Chains A and B, each alone.
Chain A
Amino acid sequence: MTCAPPPDDPSPGAPHAALAPVSGFEPWILLPAFEGGPALRDAMIACGGYTPRSFSSMQEVLDALALATRVPDLLVTRVRLPDGDAFELIRHLAAYPVAPAIFIVSRQQRSVVKATVSLCEAHGLRMAGTTDMPLDVPAAFHQIEAFRNRARAPQRLQPRSLPLTVSELHNLLNTGRIRAYMQPKMNLKSGHITGFEALMRAVNVEGQVIAPSELIEPLGGAGLLLPATLQMFDQTVDFLMQCLNDGIPVGASVNVPLSLISDNHFCQKIVERVESAGLDPSWITVEITEDEAMANPALAIENTARIRMYGFNLSIDDFGTAYSSFAQLTKIPFSELKIERSFISGIETDKAKRAVVAACALLGKQLGLAVVAEGVETPSELAAVQEADCSHIQGYLLSRPMPVPEASAWLRELDGQRFALAQTVALQSWAPGL
């Protein structure tokens, strides 16, 4: 193959940094010669400057992994292997604290490939892509390049090897290092940015951004979710006051664990904060997750009714991931339903996902709720959620989560608060949502 971008490269004007020789990216290839293993290896060396290693069995890979000083970045594999299959391999890989991303080359029917992808997701492994046999080497190489670009995109959060200690957590809280990152939400009918979701991050002294997956559970374990959530709330109130005082009507949502809402101290604090700022609480939406809402219905009704009594709006987050009783849903005074991102990812090619999202959208509409499709990243996903009749979208297609000053500037650069979706086509190769 020649080292040129594919004809459908979504950003032909962008510099092709991906094609410059790069050291440090190590793919492993578990593909026999007759299925294109060596051809892919040659392309990686010639066009990517990678240092691939080739293997002929699952056991070879596992043995090499046990001895490796660094985990490979990527593993290209078939589904059926001479001494096992990709399912077993994925299970073994998942046992490692850091595992390579997986790229599947397959002759199998779609449902088997889909199950392989689902299994990776279930184990928390990253997917670099899939392709059918016979192997189209240039197309596979460009998929891998796109993955590598996503993996090193700006703002990608650095995984930490050790969990944060209680004293580190206290330090983050006491030095103002818990930060609200704002991700915009758009009304599909008007095209206006009508809100943001405040997502919790922390920035350590080295300036590295700590991901919520490394932060929220330790904060909960250390009994520090209350002060951390209050800090998020304060930053959100400040952000909204700046926008509204400038005549920009936007709301924002804050994720609040249900347990905190039953804490009177917490509720008093958030009410005090909106009152002292002079903010109408309807500009703030409290998001609780579906599993929390359904785990203890009586507690959920009591606490969510309290939130509504104070005038805040209420959203059910990650909808579709738990086992909701429809009757239960009607008893909790939600104003918004957010469809979990896993139903949106790849929706355009997945009939089952389209059906689930359309059903959620209809349910929300019938209950008088705003319905937000989360994690919309591509124009084709956008088209599918519009078709499903969702009222709002959130996701990388609009923007990644941004620090407050950046979000303020981003919002003010829009023409009349309207987001031009056409400009997003060039962003298709961005990193997936966090």
Chain B
Amino acid sequence: MDSNPIGPTGTPPAAPVALIVDDNAVNRNVTGQMLRRLGWTSVQVESGALALEQLRARRFDLMLLDLRMQDMDGEETCRRIRADLGLADLTIVAYTAHGMEDDRERILSAGFDRLLIKPIFLDDLRGLCHDVCPAT
């Protein structure tokens, strides 16, 4: 976990919080550090199942979800978030390898708001974060 989004006194965090779901530790780390540079905090988990646990426990402003994961893939995770947890307003962004543009519609129909192409750079996140939380 990059940082605890809930302050010690239970007060809401000052910075917006993103949930990063990726089974690659290097990607989780670098995405978390980019978000920090943009004034966000993040919680990082390595599977769809752990992501669902986090979402049951607390509120997030944004979720970044790798499509290609070992246990539950990104599309299935997204469907469950929308259907089982009823989180219709959470911004969920898929990230995937280049060349998946043809699958864009299918991916978005799983409930994603946006699609980012890997690798992700600071500018990709800057625009996204600003759209979700204009103060950042």
Contact = CB atoms under 8 A, between A and B. Distances in A.
B is a partner of A = yes
Nearest to B123: A190
B49 interface: no
A382 B72 CA distance: 46
A247 B97 contact: no
Nearest to A251: B119
Contact of A187 (B97, B119, B123): B123
B83 interface: no
A192 B34 CA distance: 13
B26 A368 contact: no
Contacts of A295: none
Contacts of B68: 311
Interface residues of A, number: 25
Contact of A280 (B27, B33, B121): B27
Nearest to A281: B97
Contacts of A421: none
B33 to A, nearest CB: 3
Interface of B is mostly: helix
A280 B24 contact: yes
B122 A190 contact: yes
A308 B97 contact: yes
A241 B26 contact: yes
B121 A335 contact: no
Contacts of B123: 187, 189-190, 192
A77 interface: no
B34 A282 contact: no
**9 smallest beta-carbon distances between A and B, as pairs:** A247-B33, A282-B118, A190-B123, A335-B98, A280-B24, A244-B30, A282-B119, A244-B26, A333-B99
Interface of A: 187, 189-190, 192, 194, 241, 244-245, 247-249, 251, 278-280, 282-283, 308, 311, 313, 333, 335, 368, 416-417
7 contacts: A241-B26, A248-B30, A249-B119, A278-B26, A280-B119, A282-B118, A335-B99
Interface of B: 24-27, 29-30, 33-34, 37, 68, 97-99, 101, 118-123
